[in-house]
Amino acid sequence: METLIQFELPKWLLRYQQSYQTTTDYKAQMDFLIDVSRLNIQYDSGGPFAAGVFEIDTGRLVALGVNMVTSENLSILHAEMVALSLAQQARGNYDLGAAKPDLSLVTTCEPCAMCFGAIPWSGVRQVVAGATDADARNIGFDEGPKPEDWQKALEDRNIRVISGVHRDKAAAVLSAYVKQGGMLYNARQG
């Protein structure tokens, strides 16, 4: 029996990604992704998270992802997992570090346990995060168990980590999601 897992990116996302203005400024990249996370709520296509994979040296957007857990009924479709998967397909290699230029995963929230685990396997050389793990937990998301000093764990693997980039803006999207009645999937609390 052949089983195929498929998901479809929101059509608005495919259109919106064309508005990205190439920049090496990770703060501008974060602003773009925060807008994407707001739109993901507005279009009701998933949770309040967005992520992108960018070339560090040129700022070119390789892949853009949004959280689609609820819209596609797949728990693995976190924004980071979508962006990393699409980047791997675009590059034709599961190891994004196998060829140059080096890549950065920029995400509107620090990675949960699952996404944290995928980062070293993906081959990205940098992670840039907006809202914190605590911000996501404070609104009710269960981020799962990961090392307390997750940043050092990645840096020990030669993956640069920059966190708290436009944290207030990114956390405001999380709060807006909850205020609008957004589903807190996986909020089992224990």
| Positions marked catalytic | 80
Contact 5, 15 (CB under 8 A): no
Cβ atoms of 119 and 96 within 8 Å: the answer is no
CA distances from 153 to 94, 127, 160 (A): 21, 12, 10
Phi-psi region of 46 (alpha: psi -120 to 50; beta: other; left: phi over 0): left
Task: Quote the CA–CA distance of 161 and 97 in Å, as a whole number.
Answer: 16
Q: Is the N-terminal amide bond of 101 cis, ω within 30° of 0?
A: yes
Question: Do 61 and 24 touch, CB atoms closer than 8 A?
Answer: no
Hey, which residues does 61 pair with through a beta bridge? 54
Cα 155 to Cα 145: distance, rounded to the nearest angstrom: 19
